[in-house]
Every structure is written in structure tokens, then in C-alpha cells.
Amino acid sequence: MRIILTLILALATAVSAAGPRARDLGVPFEGEPGALNAITDVAGVTVGQVTLIEDLDGGKKVRTGVTAILPRGRETLELPVFGSWFALNGAGEMTGTTWLEESGQLQGPVLLTNTHSVGVVHDAAIAWRVRQGGTDSEGFWWSQPVVAETWDGDLNDINGFHVRPAHVDQALEKAATGPVEEGNVGAGTGTICHEFKCGIGTASRRVAMDGREHIVGVLVQANYNPPRESLRIAGVPIGQHLSEDPAHREGHVADGDTGSIIIVVATDAPLLPHQLKRIAKRAGMGLARMGSTASNGSGDIFIAFSTANAAALRGAPLSLAEVIPNAQLDGLFEATVQATEEAIVNAMVAARDMEGTEGHYAKALPQADLVALLEHYGRLVK
């Protein structure tokens, strides 16, 4: 039954992916996006998602899923990437960060799910890795998966533990390059932002440096939830204008600045782990542009990795790595801020109204009102 539901949802999300993105509505953004305006603009990065939507007896509803990001696609099984992480506010979880901090290497995929499914996803990721055969790049049979979460319990029957190992396998196996589904999909199926329905979002930026072009790509699982009044898009106080309209206050969503956001930053720029930590920190500035203040109850946790320097990570006794000097990182910092902001707006624009568990309901950001307000403030791109 669950496999059938997943297939049905794949068709539904394909329709959603065909809808307008934020730029299509005329939202102005800084910077030049990559060809797909997605994290998969970084060569080698693949994304797979499994969406779980099911109505159960007694008013409970399943609204959750799994999102998998493989830094080097299938080659992720054998070859790590340099990486780092940063917690702007730590009311959340991202596993595997102790070894990531110690080694400076991300040795496997990044998996996103709901708070109460971290354990099953963690175990399933290890089992999947074992089934692929072969040791890691250093000859060891071990895994420390990176699994991050946000709490989707407003809309999802989170204590029903509906994510299964098979769903993790599906997300990993279907990971691919190309366009990334956004909105009510994967780990973003049951998430909420600024009291509106939210979800998965992605964006990218091109960065020119000394005659070479690099890409910064961002994917967000956006579930942070400050008051609606704080929502800003392209500098316009959208939330203040929608907060007084009863039509946009329907449903039962969490009040106050609770919830979380996981931000994954990928780049093909040759950076070392300490530089990637600096990149990860800048994701918080893109979040701030949206109106978040990273409150006490928010789990704002970011991870960044670089797909460059493959030769230096193959385990040779002596390896040389290419690196961009610190003094030349500003363009990458700026690209991270810009792509993070756009990824969150893309998540909101792609999301659709959702009826959740036990009568809870989250309405999507009204696109017509967004366009009208941008035009009113002279910010609409026509």
C-alpha cells in the first residue's frame, strides 16, 4: 500500500514541480543562477526524494518523507568530500557532525527527514551502504551517516513512525541530477514557514573568479516558523500585509518562533574544511533576510561541502589539494546568502495547501497577493 501511495505522490509532485518558481512570479533576486537554479547545478550532486502522504483511521494523517543528497552521486560510496557544518541555533539534530568536524570530510550522503525518524533513517543508511559492498576510501567497513531533521508534527502523525528503511533505500536509489522537486515533497512534505505551508526548496549561483566559474548550490528543508508578521520577501514586509486577513489565518499551525531549517550548501569551488565552515555560517544570513531571528526553539543547522579536490581525497600517502585563498572568498559568501534566500522562497512558492493530522491545516503563501505586494512596493520584475 505504501509503495502505491509513493508512486501516486510521485505523479502529484511532478505536477507541482511544473508550477511557477519565485523568479517566474517576478520576485527579484540578486546574483546569476545556474542552468537549473538548483543544488544539482554543482556537477555530480544528485538528489532523491520519497514523499509519504496517507490518511489513517481516527483523523491521523501521514505527511512526511525522506530527502537524500549525494555529493558525488554514486561515487559518494567510495570518495568523500571536504565538508563542515554550523549550528546557528541548536534546537535540533544533525548526526555525524562529530566526525565531520574532526576529519573535515563528509563520507556519504546527507539525509533529511522528520525529528522522530532520525534513528530509522540513520540505521537504514548504514544498511544501504553495507549492501553496496566494498569499504570506504580508507579501507574501513564503517559509517557515520549525516541525518538531519525538522519537526513536522503539526501536519504529520509524527509519533506513528511512518518512515521505513525501504523509503530511505528508495530516496538513495532514485537520487539523480537535473531539476529538483520543491514544496510538499520528501522531508519537506509536512513543514511550515512563517505560518504558511513550506517544504523543500533549492537555488544556485554562478561565481566568476580569476577567469573561472564556480557554482554554489543550496537545498533547504524549511520548517522554521517565526510569526507571520516577520516574513520578508525581496525586502518587502509580505507577512505584515497578510497577517490581518482572516482568509489567510485559517487552520491550526504552531504559534511562535519554533521549528527548524536544515540548509545544505554545495559548491565545486576548491575549499578546505575551515573555509566550508565559513560558507555554512553565511547560510544564516540568507535565513535572516527572510525575517528569522533564530530563536531559542529553532533548530537552524547548516552543512557545506565541496566536490573539488577529488584526487586529494583518494587516500594516497601524499596528496595535494587546490584551494582558493581566504581573501577571495567574498563572492562565494555572497552567493551562499543569495541562494539560501531564494531557496527558501522557492520552497514557499512551490508549496500547496495541506490538510494535516487531527484537523490541522496549513495554507500556502497566496501567489497573487505576493505579486500584488511586490508590485505595490516597486519590487516586481516584469
Nearest alpha-carbon partner for 148 in 204, 80, 74, 68: 68
Dump pLDDT digits (tens) for 328-350: 999 999 999 999 999 999 999 99
Q: What is the DSSP letter of 134?
A: S
Q: Would 381 be classed as within a structural domain?
A: no
- Rounded Cα distance between 321 and 92, Å, is 33
Quote the CA–CA distance of 323 and 328 in Å, as a whole number.
Answer: 10
- How many domains, the chain? 1
Cell of 15: 505536477
Residue range of the domain that includes 114: 2-314+321-376
* Residue 88 located in a structural domain: yes
Residue 382 resides in a domain: no
Which segments of the chain are extended strands (E)? Answer: 46-55, 61-70, 81-90, 105-106, 110-114, 146-150, 192-193, 196-197, 200-209, 212-222, 258-267, 297-306, 354-355, 361-362
260 is catalytic: yes
Query: Which one from 84, 204, 230, 260 is the annotated catalytic residue?
Result: 260
Q: Supply the CATH number for residue 151's domain.
A: 3.60.70.12
Note whether 110 and 302 are within 8 A (CB): no
The answer to whether position 16 is within a domain reads yes
Between residues 258 and 173, the one the model is more confident about: 173
- Catalytic: which of 41, 136, 152, 300? 300
Establish whether 298 is a catalytic residue: yes
Grid cell 581573501 in the structure block, residue: 327
Residue 151 in contact with residue 158, Cβ under 8 Å?
A: yes
Return the amino acid letter for 161: F
Greatest Cα pair distance, the chain, in angstroms, is 65
Q: What is the pLDDT of residues 182-198, one digit of tens each?
A: 999 999 999 999 999 99
Single pTM value for the model = 0.94
* Rounded Cα gap, residues 239 and 366, in angstroms: 11
Told to judge if 243 belongs to the known catalytic residues of this protein, a careful annotator would answer no
pLDDT band at 368 (very low <50, low <70, confident <90, very high): very high
Q: What is the pLDDT of residues 47-61, one digit of tens each?
A: 999 999 999 999 999
| Three cell numbers written together for 251 | 487552520
- The one catalytic residue among 117, 230, 292, 298: 298
Are 151 and 191 contacting, i.e. CB atoms less than 8 angstroms apart? no
